[in-house]
Structures are given as C-alpha cells and as structure tokens.
A and B are shown apart, each in its own frame.
Chain A
Amino acid sequence: MTRLLFPLSRIEGHAQVAIEVQEGEVLSAQFQATELRGFEYLVQDAPADQMPVVTPRICGVCSTAHHVAAVKALEDAYEITPPPLALKIRELLMLGQLLQNQATSLFIFTMPDRLGVSSIFQLASDAVTTDKSERQLTEVATRALQVRQAGTHLISTAGGQFIHPVKAVVGGVTGGIPAQQAAEMRAELEAALPIACELFDYYWEISIAMGERLGTWGDDAPACYLSAIAGRQPNFYGNQMYVLSSSGDACSMFPARDFRKYLTYEATEYSYAGHTSFQGEVIRANSLARINVLHDMGTPAANRYLKRFTEAFGQPAHAILLFDLARGIELVYAIERAIEILSEPLDEGDPAVPHTPQDGEGFGLVEAPRGPLIHHYTIEDGKIAHAEFIIPTVHNMLAIERALRVAAERYIDAERVNMELERAVGRVVRAFDPCIACATH
C-alpha cells in the first residue's frame, strides 16, 4: 500500500490530505486537521460575559461570526431581545464578514489555481510569468485587496476593529454609526461594487476555461445542503437551521437548540476535527448550500448573477467548483445589501436594552461565510460550565473527503499517479474553503 501525503496551502489553518492507494485502487482519502488549541476546555470557568471578547480568538478570519454568535448565545440564555438598531449593526457586521471572506477565498485562495501561479502576491519567482502577466497579476492583487478591504473597513465601522471586533454586546451594541461615518463607508462600498463585479466576471471566465481544460468541475454527486438562512432571501444574521435533502425536494427546518437531533457528530483518529452527517448522509455547507435554496438575493446585481448561475448550472447544482462561483454572487450581494443598510439612519434609537445576567443554557446561531455556526453555553454562577462550538467546516468534512476520493480515482490508475492530482487536491479543498482554526478550535 502507498500513502500519499499532500501539504495544503491557501486555506485557513493547518491541514493535510492523505490518500491511500493499492495497485491503482484508492483505499481512502482523508482530510487531516493538524492543529488544536482546545477552546471548549480553556473557556471553562470563564466569566460568561467575556465570551464575546474571548471566542473571536478562535479564528482571525471568522472572528466576526464568533463575536456575534457569542453575544446571541448569551442573549438566548438571559432571555433578552436586542433593539432594532443593534440588529442592523450586527447584520452589517455579518455582511462585512461575508464580503471580506468571499473576497479572500475568491481572489487570494482560489484565483491562483485558475491562473497557474502559486500566489497572487508571487511576482518574480513564478516561472510562467512574463513581464506583462506579472503586471496584470499585481493589478489583480491590488484590486482584489481593495475589494477585500471594503469588507474589513465595514467590520471596523460596525464592530470597532476588523479582527476580533468589540461593538456587539449583550443586549445590543455599544453604539450606532454616526451619519458622516456611514456616508464614507457607503461611498467606499459604492466604489468597490463595480470593481468586485469586474473581478468576478474575470473569475467566472477563467473558471469556465479551467473547467474545460480539466474536463471536470469535480465531485457532482448530490448531497444534503445545510444553512441557517431559512426564507427566500438571504439573511446572515441566522434564524433557523435549514436542510435541503439530497433529492432536492424535501426540506427540514429546526432551531439551533435541536441540532443534535438532526446532525450526528463523530470524532476521528486521524484528525483534530471530526465530521458530521445528516441522517446518515453527506452534508454540504457554505456558499453552494445557500445559493441552492435561494430564489431571490434581494439586490439587483446579485440577482443577475444568480440568474446567470441557475441558467448555466441548474438549481440545486452539485459540482464542487461551483462553490467558488456561488461565493462571487454573495460577494456582490454583501456589498449591495450593506449599501442599503448604510443608507438608513444608524444613530437613532437605543443601541442596547438593559439586562440582568442569569444562569441557564444558550444557543447562538449565525450564518457564517462557511455555513451555520452555533455557540452553545451552559452558565452556572455566571461562569461557563460547558461550552460547545458547532463549526460549519466540520459539517463539510465528509463532503470534502468524498470529493477528494473522486479526484483521486480520476488521477490514479494501476500504471501511475498523474501529477495533476496534487493540484486537484488543492482545488477540491479550496472549493470548500475550510477553516481549520475553527474546525478544531
């Protein structure tokens, strides 16, 4: 038996892929998360009200999602409802998170696969680049960073700072957004919108070209699709868990607190992240899971892209490289929706309601860029007696491994291992945009 090990890059965190082969037959394809910090243990006995500041440190890429989920979990336990202004600011936070993340995934993580370079920041060291393509690459990198920065500035505007934000607090937010600041942010987003669309059009084009060159868009078998955006239009603030069955015609809806009844978690010996399944079936979360259930993005440009997408690939669509295109639709949506919210007054009304902390159990659900994220706390004497973090990437683990196996079977036969496999492994994993820091926490 031969064991092929593939290091991974251009993903968040530390992981590798192990594929076992015997005489051309693929025995297994494993996704191995190789880091662990132990957040569920280390927050034990922490004062519950510090969770919105501590848990963002689970992940610097997804810190906003953890910040909001932590606040929602405490509010669930304390039985309080934040005022409308706070909900708007928090929605902006989640949109900034989405914009920042999808821009990073599209332009920094996966665009190099389509351009045949090792990084959009890699200049002279790439053999394939000529002076002209080097300049183009630098231009793409600069514009991509500009779009991404609009997302990070949006998080700063709504959350105080863009990594490990602070403005969401139990009961609401520490304050609204003054009119002047909102107008500046709006102008930045309006400037970013056409650039984002241009980059996405370019990305779409080179993705089609790559699909033709490869002759495949990867694993296209059906799966269950999991998200927290129940309703016909997207809402990343999170309300209910929603599962579209693999046949595409049946849906299950359930509140976050019932997740155990529907999602089965198993630990594995070969990874610090386990995996989940839905009634024995493979789950997919992240962009494609959302785009597969939405009929209306609620904003004009995103709707045009959604239409283009469903006409080209159907709904639900299953090929894994479509996760990347679905991310582009959401990138455009995030900018448009944030512009809408920033056009409303954001410094009127109470930013927060008073509250009294109480012991009990709380669940906080948000739709993070990678899928539904749940924080689950049990609070005793004002301290965390038990904490659980239910992470979207973990829901995707079986789907990643299934897609890795499809790729391995395509590029391995009795004669040899095709060198394309290494690139295929990278493309498969990046399509799911896994976050290992979150998955292992």
Chain B
Amino acid sequence: MKNFAVLQLSGCAGCEVSLLNADAWVDQYNLAYMPLVTSVHDVPEVDLLLVSGGVRTDEDLYKLRHAVQRAGEVVAVGTCAISGGVANLGDRDEVRELFIAQARRRHVPHLLPKSHPIDAFVEVDRYLPGCPPMSHLFMMVLTGETEKTLARTVCQDCGRKKLRDVRPEHLVGFQTGKVDPDICLINQGYLCIGSSTRGGCGAPCTRAGHPCVGCRGPSDAFIEKESAVWMKSIARVFKGMTDIPEEEIQTGLRSPQLALFLFQFSDYADDKATIRPKEKVL
C-alpha cells in the first residue's frame, strides 16, 4: 500500500480539509502522517509528501527541510505552498514593519522576515494549485494520474452563455448580489478572470454566481510566462466582450486582494517571477 504524509506549514488547513473529502483514498493509501488527523509527531519515510502552507516561521523551514529528506516525491499543495499565498499580503512594505514588530514573542517559533513558497528552499516534483485544490484533484495526485483530462481554463469548466450583444460599460462591484444564473459573468460586468485561469476545478465559484478570482493560477498558456502576459490576456478578453475602459479593468485587477490570487504564480511580493514548468503543474 502506498504511503503518504501531509506536512502542514503556515496555512489555513483548507487543503487538508479538502483532502479529507476525497474519501476514496481511505482504504487504498496509508496516511502515515498528518497532524490534523493523526497523532504521529514525526514524518516517517513515505512515497509521497504533500506540503501545504507557506514557510512563515523558522519552525516551518526546519520541518520542511527535515521532511523532504524522507520523501520519495514532494508535491506543493495549494496557493500558500506554491506562492506564499494570502500571507504574501503581509509582505507589503507598509504593513510588514508594523506586523513584525507586533508579532515578536519570546517562547514560540520566530517569524521569518517574509513568507516564502516552499520551492524557495527545496526541490518540488509536482504542483497542485488551488485555494484549496478540489478533492478530485487530490485523488489525481495520489493515483499519479499524469494524463491531463482536465479543462484548460475555468471558462471551459463554467458553461455560462457568452452573449455577443450584451456589452457592459462599467464593472459592477465585487458584491452586487443579483446575478443572472445562465449568462457569462463578464457579460454582466463582473471582473471574472476564468478565461485564463487554470481549469479542472469544475468552476464552482462562477457556477454559484461569483466571479473567478484565479485561485488555480494561470493556465498552461501563461504559466511559463511573466505575469504581464497573463494580465494583458485578461484585458484583451474584456476589450473583446465589453466597452469597459481599460484603466478600470487594470485598477480592478491590481487591487491588492484580487492581485493576491492573480499573481500567485509570479510571487506577487517579489520582483523576480519564479517560473514553474507546466509539466509539473496539475
């Protein structure tokens, strides 16, 4: 029976909870270590190590370096492990200084000056993006399914109707409430970026009437390119489908929270983008 472990660094445990919902693994794989559900305090030798959460404390870094030595294969799971995730927002200069000063404690692990993705320190064999990745994607990682049968973009997963003759002139707010159940969210003036976001999630957000914020990162067409290319593509989609002024789109895309998701693969807080090869990304 294949052995696997889940190392939780600084994160929200959403990835682990999603894994728990993929219950098909229960009698097929031996979960050797995952502190959320097992009382085993050290990572044993395993075939597969899933790492969730970013490297935020010195303890995270120690545990990560220790665990990868015992693993056959290392998978970075979720936005935080892949790009630093939501914690990256704390690395904005105006916030960081205050935060680090306030956070100082004596008897607990110390915070590193900034938050890091795990591939800043260790070799990663595969990436499973999503905030969190859907349960069925976890099963694909466990079974080692490499053939990509997934939709290329969220747009392909979504199934809402695109209309040629409905061209909004302005973005509607992020939280406007009433949403037509069948029509493309861009036709309705929402800042939806499902057209260039990696598919395979099944588009639960857009189907529920909420614009895609890009938590699965860029699709294969953009993942090996710098973030500006991705941004340009989004702007082009809006130009083709709406009469919304380009500045309005750019401002929306660059608001810090949305940017958190948009930029996840280019490490938003960093100047130099880290390129992850598409063969490694599920």
* Contacts from A to B (Cβ < 8 Å): 7-14, 18, 32-39, 41-47, 49-50, 52-54, 57-61, 63, 71, 74, 104, 108-109, 112, 118-125, 138, 141-142, 145-146, 148-149, 152, 156, 159-164, 166-167, 169-175, 269-272, 350-355, 357, 426, 437
Question: B204 contacts A38, CB within 8 Å?
Answer: no
Q: Does B272 sit within 8 A of A, measured CB to CB?
A: no
In chain B, what residue has the closest Cβ to A357?
B173
Q: Assuming A160-B207, A352-B177, A357-B173, is B103 touching A38 (CB within 8 A)?
A: yes
CB distance from A137 to the nearest CB of B (A): 11
Beyond A35-B10, A46-B89, 11 extra complex contacts between A and B, CB < 8 Å? A32-B107, A36-B56, A36-B57, A36-B111, A38-B103, A39-B86, A60-B16, A60-B18, A169-B176, A171-B175, A172-B177
A-B contacts, 8 of them at CB < 8 A, read A10-B39, A37-B90, A42-B99, A118-B38, A121-B37, A138-B27, A146-B23, A169-B175
What CA separation (Å) do A152 and B19 show in the bound complex? 12
CB distance from A143 to the nearest CB of B (A): 11
Give which listed residue, A42, A108, A120, A121, contacts B89 with CB less than 8 A: A42
What CA separation (Å) do A15 and B57 show in the bound complex? 13
Interface bracket on B: 35 or more
In chain B, what residue has the closest Cβ to A41?
B99
Chain A CB within 10 A, most for which of B8, B14, B181, B205: B14
Q: Does B35 sit within 8 A of A, measured CB to CB?
A: yes
Within 8 A of A (CB), among B3-42: 8, 10-18, 20-21, 23, 26-27, 30-32, 35-41
Question: B41 contacts A63, CB within 8 Å?
Answer: no
Question: A149 contacts B99, CB within 8 Å?
Answer: no
CB distance from B27 to the nearest CB of A (A): 6
CB distance from B164 to the nearest CB of A (A): 24
Report the 8 A-B pairs with minimum CB-CB distance, sorted nearest first.
A60-B14, A160-B208, A352-B177, A174-B209, A166-B210, A119-B38, A42-B89, A161-B204
Question: A272 contacts B105, CB within 8 Å?
Answer: yes
In chain A, what residue has the closest Cβ to B12?
A60
Q: Assuming A9-B35, A34-B109, A357-B173, is B131 touching A57 (CB within 8 A)?
A: yes
Within 8 A of A (CB), among B87-103: 87, 89-90, 92, 94-95, 98-99, 102-103
Q: Does B121 sit within 8 A of A, measured CB to CB?
A: no
- Point out the residues of chain B lying under 8 angstroms from A120, CB to CB: 37
- Point out the residues of chain B lying under 8 angstroms from A172, CB to CB: 177-178
Question: B12 contacts A148, CB within 8 Å?
Answer: no
What CA separation (Å) do A37 and B156 show in the bound complex? 34
- Point out the residues of chain B lying under 8 angstroms from A49, CB to CB: 173-175
In chain B, what residue has the closest Cβ to A178?
B181
Question: B108 contacts A271, CB within 8 Å?
Answer: yes
- Point out the residues of chain A lying under 8 angstroms from B39, CB to CB: 9-10, 112, 118-119, 426
Q: Assuming A42-B95, A60-B13, A125-B30, is B210 touching A35 (CB within 8 A)?
A: no
Q: Does B255 sit within 8 A of A, measured CB to CB?
A: yes
Q: Does B213 sit within 8 A of A, measured CB to CB?
A: yes
Chain A CB within 10 A, most for which of B15, B16, B174: B174
Q: Does B146 sit within 8 A of A, measured CB to CB?
A: no
In chain A, what residue has the closest Cβ to B104?
A269
Give which listed residue, B17, B207, B255, contacts A61 with CB less than 8 A: B17
- Point out the residues of chain B lying under 8 angstroms from A166, CB to CB: 204-205, 208-210
Give which listed residue, B108, B175, B178, B256, contacts A34 with CB less than 8 A: B108
In chain A, what residue has the closest Cβ to B255?
A47
- Point out the residues of chain A lying under 8 angstroms from B256, CB to CB: 45-46
- Point out the residues of chain B lying under 8 angstroms from A36, CB to CB: 10, 56-57, 103, 111
CB distance from B186 to the nearest CB of A (A): 16
Give which listed residue, B11, B12, B37, B260, contacts A108 with CB less than 8 A: B37
Question: A46 contacts B87, CB within 8 Å?
Answer: no
What CA separation (Å) do A270 and B13 show in the bound complex? 23
Within 8 A of A (CB), among B121-163: 131-132
What CA separation (Å) do A171 and B172 show in the bound complex? 14
Give which listed residue, B13, B21, B108, contacts A272 with CB less than 8 A: B108
Q: Does B179 sit within 8 A of A, measured CB to CB?
A: yes
- Point out the residues of chain A lying under 8 angstroms from B31, CB to CB: 119, 121-122
- Point out the residues of chain B lying under 8 angstroms from A46, CB to CB: 89, 255-257
